[in-house]
């Protein structure tokens, strides 16, 4: 909503509920690869979903590496 859109995830919430119930700390990241809006009658094309993931893979991987680096730094100094 911060950028004027809504998104629907497929499994993050149930996984977070189980993790929190188990006492785990959780950080959720999502990558939207299927931009089906519901307003078009086009069928979702799996090849396009894979292409969208491939297009952002380097940036997403770099972001995750940075987050892991920061978390590692924070947990090693506390």
Tell me the C-alpha distance between 72 and 3, whole Å. Answer: 30
Helices (H), 1-78: 12-21, 46-77
- The whole-number pLDDT of residue 24 equals 95
- The whole-number pLDDT of residue 41 equals 63
Q: Which residue has the tokens 């995830």?
A: 9
Tell me the C-alpha distance between 61 and 55, whole Å. Answer: 11
Band the pLDDT of 73: cuts 50, 70, 90. confident
Condensed to tens digits (0 to 9), the pLDDT of residues 3-61 reads: 676 777 777 889 999 999 999 999 988 888 877 656 566 777 889 889 989 999 999 99
Tell me the C-alpha distance between 60 and 18, whole Å. Answer: 25
């Amino acid at each position: 909503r911060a950028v004027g859109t809504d998104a629907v995830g497929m499994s993050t919430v149930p996984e977070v509920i189980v993790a929190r119930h188990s006492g785990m700390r959780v950080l959720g990241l999502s990558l939207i690869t299927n931009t089906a809006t519901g307003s078009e009658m086009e069928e979702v094309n799996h090849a396009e979903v894979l292409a969208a993931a491939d297009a952002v893979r380097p940036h997403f991987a770099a972001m995750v590496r940075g987050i892991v680096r920061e978390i590692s730094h924070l947990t090693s100094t506390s």
